[in-house]
Amino acid sequence: MRDGITGAAELTLAGGRIDVIAYGCTSGIMVIGGDEVFARLRAARPGVACTTPPTAALAALRALKLGRIAVLTPYTEGVNRLVRGYLTERGVDVAAFGAFNKDSDAEVAAIAPASILAAAQALDAPDIEGFFLSCTGMRALGIVEALEERLGKPVVTSNQALAWHALRLAGHTGPIAGFGRLLRL
């Protein structure tokens, strides 16, 4: 992905006005590095606000005032170490961590929402303040409301956080129902 970021950003509404560019791959950011992704996006679109799933998730966790969280990913151990490191280096206390250990996008997309729900519930503990379900390819957005209801705690997903953050960067501050506490802020 690294080599195609600038070109893709140049093609997006070529010549048109863009308020925000959202790079949509959580693990890609972990591997490539946020600074490099932002530099490549800005090379194509100087002055345009940029966000990524981990950047957005961190902003979401802060907006929800969540410090001690559980994380669920579809990733293998190498990427999981990067995710944990990214969060802990930025002051997030990762109290529980679970993973499906999938190698491919197809395997990630095949994880049933019911399995995601059950895995997240299994990570819950009284000292957990909220959850981060990491990966734009994991089908978690549709279960956010149900999971929050069952757990009684906020749930942040990569896609939900990315949409929320992009909207905020574009100036939209109104609540959006149906996708969890974060989008109702």
pTM: 0.95
Confidence at residue 14, expressed as pLDDT on a 0 to 100 scale? 84
* CA neighbor of 167 nearest in space, from 56, 41, 54, 58: 56
- For residue 149 the two structure tokens come to 């209801």
Confidence at residue 134, expressed as pLDDT on a 0 to 100 scale? 98
Angstrom distance (rounded) from CA 116 to CA 101 = 13
In the beta sheet, which residues pair with residue 96? Answer: 70
Angstrom distance (rounded) from CA 67 to CA 36 = 27
Specify burial of residue 91 (Cβ count, 10 A radius: 0-12, 13-18, 19+). exposed
With b meaning 16 or more CB within 10 Å and e meaning fewer, what string describes 9-45? beeeeeeeeeebbbbbbbbbbbebebeebbebbbebb
The answer to whether the beta carbons of residues 72 and 116 sit under 8 Å apart is: yes
Q: How far, in whole angstroms, is CA 4 from its chain's centroid?
A: 21
Confidence at residue 47, expressed as pLDDT on a 0 to 100 scale? 94
Q: Measure the CA angle with vertex 164, ends 162 and 170; round to 5°.
A: 100
Confidence at residue 3, expressed as pLDDT on a 0 to 100 scale? 92
11 three-state secondary structure: helix
100 three-state secondary structure: coil
Confidence at residue 72, expressed as pLDDT on a 0 to 100 scale? 98
Confidence at residue 48, expressed as pLDDT on a 0 to 100 scale? 96
Residue with tokens 């530099």: 39
Q: Tens-of-pLDDT digits for all 185 residues of the chain?
A: 899 999 999 998 888 899 999 999 999 999 999 999 999 999 999 999 999 999 999 999 999 999 999 999 999 999 999 999 999 999 999 999 999 999 999 999 999 999 999 999 999 999 999 999 999 999 999 999 999 999 999 999 999 999 999 999 999 999 999 999 999 99
The answer to whether the beta carbons of residues 38 and 5 sit under 8 Å apart is: no
Confidence at residue 89, expressed as pLDDT on a 0 to 100 scale? 97
Report CA-CA distances (Å) from 58 to 12, 62, 109.
Answer: 26, 6, 23
Angstrom distance (rounded) from CA 87 to CA 71 = 10
